[in-house]
Structure 1
Amino acid sequence: MLELFKKLPQIIPEAYALGDISVKPFKNILVCGMGGSGFPGYLLKDLIDTPVEIAQSYTIPKYVSKDTLAFIISYSGNTEETINMLRRTRKKTKNIVLITSDGKLAKEKEKKVLVPTGMQPRDAIPYLFFPMWFILKQKGIPEVISAVKQINIKEAKSLAAKIKNKIPAVYASYQHKAIAMRWKTQFNEDAKILAISNVYPEMDHNEIESDFKKVFTILLRDQKDHPEIRKEMDLTQRRMHAHNILLKGKSRLAKTFYGIYFGDLTAYYLALLLKKDPYRYEFIEKLKAKLKNG
């Protein structure tokens, strides 16, 4: 994790350049992918105005059509659900881009982005997300690199120590839903603990009634959040004994990746404190094997 983090200023522009692919005009976007390979779709949904749908099953939405641009993402290239979604997508649109490192997807006929092998899918986020950003003619890479360089590793390590032996509950504004989700899934996979994520203002209509004594609450704050959401966070943080993390960066894209990697580092150090191997996935692999063998 640390080696990857240190190389991000080189990895991010390299990943962005891989998206030098032309696509046909489109009215909406479909992103198909599971786990770490599907997560870039949530980032895209948060960051652009074009309608984005994320499919994470064996099927795709019925309204997918010739006006849909589809990104089919599987880092391994062999994910069963994703291959099934590709087959169904072909029947609805020819405007398809595959993003993979190897496997069955790498051998398919559609336009594709081939990314480096040898990584965990969730570590490969720059390679799975930034090619889409290039294809969609989006900018802002220097701002992302600048924001990531502002992350203080010691702060992440200190936060991990505070979370130890508690259930982390991570909240953000609705526009940063994907960042909160990423924190949750990293705590799940790295530290092997249960975690919660939700967004404002929705959480103030249900979760605010919960007992927060056994959880460690984290608020991901953005100074450009809607004024009413900032007010709600101010009013509820005392009840939740919340720890505030300010998302730094000059753009939403930059703030997003600041938040992602601050969370990734925190989860990594929490795993070490709990004496867990952040790259051992015992139950995920057992489930995959059982499904494959029937």
Structure 2
Amino acid sequence: MGGSGVTGDYIWALATAKGARFPVIVHKADGAPAWLSSEDLVVAISYSGNTYETVSCAREAHAKGALVLSVTSGGKLAAWARETGLPLATIQPGYYPRTALGMLAGATLGILSAAGVEVANEGEVKDAAEALRSTSRGEGETIARALKGKDLYIIAGCGVFDIVAHRWRQEFSENAKAIAKTEFYPESAHNDLVVWQQQHGERKGFILIEGDGKVCSVLEELLRQVYSEQRDTLVRVTPRGNGLLAQLLQGSLLGGFTSVYLASLNGVDPRDTSITGRYKEALEKAGLT
């Protein structure tokens, strides 16, 4: 979930783009998939190390004979990995989990490389770091000011940039406490498109994460037209950087900056996610820890 979960999405996108000869599955539910076996490699990613779904999956995967690599700042996952003697990559604790995306991605790429699976080389990592350094808070503030005062945010992506759109929605929810909906291709070209056949009274902010490819170009041009017909704010974002890793991280960072400035403009605290504690309490009451 959150930044930990989207790290898995990044790995899937990078491996797919490089034509990996093995399937990459992102699993975010509790427990391990029924088909998992001793021939599989599992990477358990949880910033806190206490995410129930991740820890339970790691334990079940190990019981099925799969090799489990863990990426975390501590918690139950780190303790379990040390106890079992399985590979562990630890990152610095003390951050809000959603701000640790870069560390999670870097550590995951590193532990995979150590296991003989390279989905991004050193040059690509350096290019990503440069793209992040080139992204200013001012860019996020400019977008936030354009989107201020809306009742609903529609965030659309195409191709691998669906992941970036999904990350923007997460950041808008957690930081800005704003109601946001993500539209993914091909749904955005079919059932999601139908709702925009008529005008809607809510004040809307449309965000279009633009990608590459002929199909995406056709879809994005259509969405620009349809969203503009709603007579509301449309912001177009093109993730930048040399290579896919750079573009994924840069686009995500820009979404983070935008959401924090939007929180400030809306008068809400981007740090407060206390309501999520109720889910953890419910799990504990059910004996799921």
Bin the TM-score by the shorter chain. 0.7 to 0.9
Deviation at 1:269, TM superposition (A): 0.4
Alignment of 1:146-161 (within 5 A): 146-161=130-145
Output the amino acid matched with 2:169. K
Report if aligned partners of 1:98, 1:111 keep a CA contact under 8 Å in 2: yes
Question: Of the candidates 30, 48, 73, which is equivalent to residue 101 of structure 1?
Answer: 73
Output the amino acid matched with 2:193. I
Normalized against structure 2, the TM-score is what?
0.84
Deviation at 1:59, TM superposition (A): 2.1
2:128 pairs with 1:144? yes
Report if aligned partners of 1:145, 1:254 keep a CA contact under 8 Å in 2: yes
Deviation at 1:131, TM superposition (A): 2.0
Report if aligned partners of 1:156, 1:266 keep a CA contact under 8 Å in 2: yes
Matched with 2:92 is 116
2:219 pairs with 1:232? yes
Give the secondary structure class of the aligned counterpart of 1:52. coil
2:25 pairs with 1:40? no
Normalized against structure 1, the TM-score is what?
0.82
More displaced 10-residue stretch of structure 1: 134-143 or 173-182: 134-143
Cα deviation digits, residues 72-97 of structure 1 (max 9, x gap) = 12222222222211221012234111
Report if aligned partners of 1:174, 1:201 keep a CA contact under 8 Å in 2: no
CA–CA separation in structure 2 for the residues paired with 1:183 and 1:69: 29
Give the secondary structure class of the aligned counterpart of 1:104. helix
CA–CA separation in structure 1 for the residues paired with 2:66 and 2:35: 15
Residue segments in structure 1 that go unaligned for 5+ positions in a row:
1-33
Deviation at 1:202, TM superposition (A): 2.8
Q: CA RMSD in A?
A: 1.7
More displaced 10-residue stretch of structure 1: 265-274 or 90-99: 90-99
CA–CA separation in structure 2 for the residues paired with 1:152 and 1:37: 23
2:273 pairs with 1:284? no
Output the amino acid matched with 1:271. A
CA–CA separation in structure 1 for the residues paired with 2:205 and 2:214: 25
Report if aligned partners of 1:99, 1:112 keep a CA contact under 8 Å in 2: yes
Question: Of the candidates 44, 52, 68, which is equivalent to residue 72 of structure 1?
Answer: 44
Matched with 2:231 is none
Report if aligned partners of 2:102, 2:249 keep a CA contact under 8 Å in 1: no
2:267 pairs with 1:275? yes
CA–CA separation in structure 2 for the residues paired with 1:247 and 1:74: 26
Number of residues paired by the alignment? 259
Cα deviation digits, residues 29-64 of structure 1 (max 9, x gap) = xxxxx3332221111112212422122222222221
Residue segments in structure 2 that go unaligned for 5+ positions in a row:
229-233
Residue identity over aligned pairs, in percent, reads 27
Alignment of 1:21-32 (within 5 A): none
Matched with 1:132 is 108
Matched with 1:21 is none
Cα deviation digits, residues 160-198 of structure 1 (max 9, x gap) = 122222211111112222111100000000011211112
Output the amino acid matched with 1:234. E
